Chain A
Amino acid sequence: KAGVTQTPRYLIKTRGQQVTLSCSPISGHRSVSWYQQTPGQGLQFLFEYFSETQRNKGNFPGRFSGRQFSNSRSEMNVSTLELGDSALYLCASSLNSGSGNTIYFGEGSWLTVV
């Protein structure tokens, strides 16, 4: 069974640009969530999608957005990139939404903003 797949794995963007990251969850998983990992702030929750609806949102500005498709695939978008957006962006999936559902992480997309 394939794990959580994220593309692209590495990318470099310029300040002010926008970026879209993609995530394919484990087959059968309907919940997809996104996390940002930085050395300074650690692992922080961005948002969760379940059945194409955003269930929760973390404390990030509106420049961070996401969506989920009918096949449970998800994308996140960051507009007007800032240097501080440089981070590892992790996608995670679980069978269902709700506390206690095991969350599996992908290997992440490394974003560098220059």
Chain B
Amino acid sequence: QQQVKQSPQSLIVQKGGISIINCAYENTAFDYFPWYQQFPGKGPALLIAIRPDVSEKKEGRFTISFNKSAKQFSLHIMDSQPGDSATYFCAASGGVTGGGNKLTFGTGTQLKVEL
């Protein structure tokens, strides 16, 4: 059962444009939603994260929008740069019996920013 659905699978954006990646979740017990960026040959690196009591969080050019009623959240990358070309994963955690720190990941979006 895929509990976090991510789209699109791939995305091409022009330099300076806005990149938008969407995720939807099913488990209402999730209470933490991070986004990770992964470059080839590297491990995922935390980009930005949000809790469901906030509808939006912005850090530099990266913004998470969160819609609790729709169980959806999205990543917006403003002024996209070629250096942003990477694979982006949304994730969710929470609601694990007995506690614990387990991330459920989306399937990833390959972003390419063209000059």
Q: How far is the CB of A75 from chain B (nearest CB, A)?
A: 18
- Of the listed stretches B10-18, B37-45, B56-64, B66-74, name the one at the interface; the rest are far from the partner chain: B37-45
A103: B residues at CB distance < 8 A: 34, 46, 101, 103
- Of the listed stretches A12-20, A42-50, A79-87, name the one at the interface; the rest are far from the partner chain: A42-50
Residues of B within 8 A of A (CB): 31-32, 34, 36, 41-46, 49, 51, 89, 91, 93-96, 98-108
A56: B residues at CB distance < 8 A: 96, 98, 100-102
C-alpha spacing A17/B101, complex, angstroms: 30
B31: A residues at CB distance < 8 A: 99-100
Looking across the interface, which residue of chain B has its beta carbon closest to that of A98? B99
Question: Could you tell me how many residues of chain A have their Cβ less than 8 Å away from some Cβ of chain B?
Answer: 29
B102 touches A48 (CB 8 A): yes
B95: A residues at CB distance < 8 A: 99
A106: B residues at CB distance < 8 A: 43
C-alpha spacing A4/B89, complex, angstroms: 19
A-B contact pairs, 15 of them (CB 8 A): A33-B101, A33-B102, A42-B107, A43-B103, A43-B108, A45-B104, A56-B101, A58-B102, A90-B44, A97-B99, A99-B31, A99-B93, A100-B94, A105-B36, A107-B42
